[in-house]
Amino acid sequence: MVNTEVDVVIVGAGIVGAALAVRLAKSGLRLAVVEPVPPAAPADTWDSRVYAISPGSARLLSEAGVWQQIDPHRLGPVHAMDVRGDHGARLVLDAYEAGVAELAWIVESGRIQHALWQSLQQQDNLYLLTGVSGVTLAWTGERSRLELSDGSVVSAGLVVAADGRPSWVRQQARLEARREDYHQSGVVANFACEHSHRQIARQWFRADGILAWLPLPDDVVSMVWSTDPVHAAELAGLSPDQLAARVADAGGRVLGDMHLVTPPAVFPLSILRVPSLVAPGLALIGDAAHGVHPLSGQGVNLGLRDVAALASILLARGDAGCGELALLRRYERARRGDILAMQGVTDGLHRLFRTRNPLVAALRNAGMDVLQRIEPLKSVLIRQALS
């Protein structure tokens, strides 16, 4: 049996968990990262799962030396966002008008994960424990004891749960989590377009759901169509040519003909509310701490802001132990407002555009038109998108 003693053990090395470890590379803390399935090297083909990385998140990754490792030819800058209501309403957010270079970057999940993984493998203050998972986890006094599937044991002052929405760590700590099913599915796929997307992200609030096209390099777009499960299954069952035609038609053929370049994938949509983000010796980050509707594309940015907050507090802890509850409460207070606000906005928009009440429909579309004409309010939206 191998016993490892560290200051912080991070369970889960997805984007958020790995980013926290990299952010703490020069902290002087002894770290361990537990990851059952290390990411594979990205292929030359397009990854069907992409993220809209805000400038704030890109800055965090750049300061950790990770952003520079991503192939710049695989980064899709967003210079504008064009949002359409279901009755002709329109809202356009433009980077040039806001005085910034871009509103976001569209990046394949595999590219970010690979860059982070390369950094982890070179990190001196880190034990990288791969191919194993947690079996038991208990807290005694100021330390935790994590037994892994290979029989080894990790003892830590702080356990960070970065193991996704189901979060085995959160369950071991018996922290409450409330999942609400939206009774919708997200359909994702990538398409090559006849016309240039001009680095514009497009989104339509339609009667059959929310359709988004996110710009990737080489005039490829990543599509996310949030819709009811029956419609999602229908879309996934179409032939490649039929699906491409359906998606092009749904967007008014603004990019001309489309050609499917990655097969569609379908995943269920839900919101996850976690009342407590911390306990003695434990902190939750990323999808273990919250879940939001994908219509805003802000889920991963929310998680990276968790990373920034927790790392900042650990780096400035002084003589306090990493797992002290008073210290971790500072992290919870720092993150609670942002999480609740993002969940409120995304959940509210989802419900607002799902209702078929004609009065509500008229009001929501009128609201978009008013917002389009009030520059200070648009500036507030852009500042939120940039964080």
Residue 59 clears pLDDT 60, i.e. is over it: yes
The overall average pLDDT reported for the chain is: 90
In order of their start, the domains of the chain are 3-42+110-179+272-350 (3.50.50.60), 67-108+182-269+357-386 (3.30.9.10)
Q: Give CA–CA dist 285/302, Å, rounded.
A: 9
* Averaged pLDDT for residues 204-209: 87
SS3 77: strand
From 197, 170, 357, 179, select the one nearest 279 (Cα to Cα).
170
Q: Give CA–CA dist 378/123, Å, rounded.
A: 41
* Averaged pLDDT for residues 51-65: 94
What residues are paired with 273 via a beta bridge? 178
Q: How confident is the model over 295-347, as pLDDT tens digits?
A: 666 789 999 999 999 999 999 999 999 999 999 999 999 999 999 988 887 77
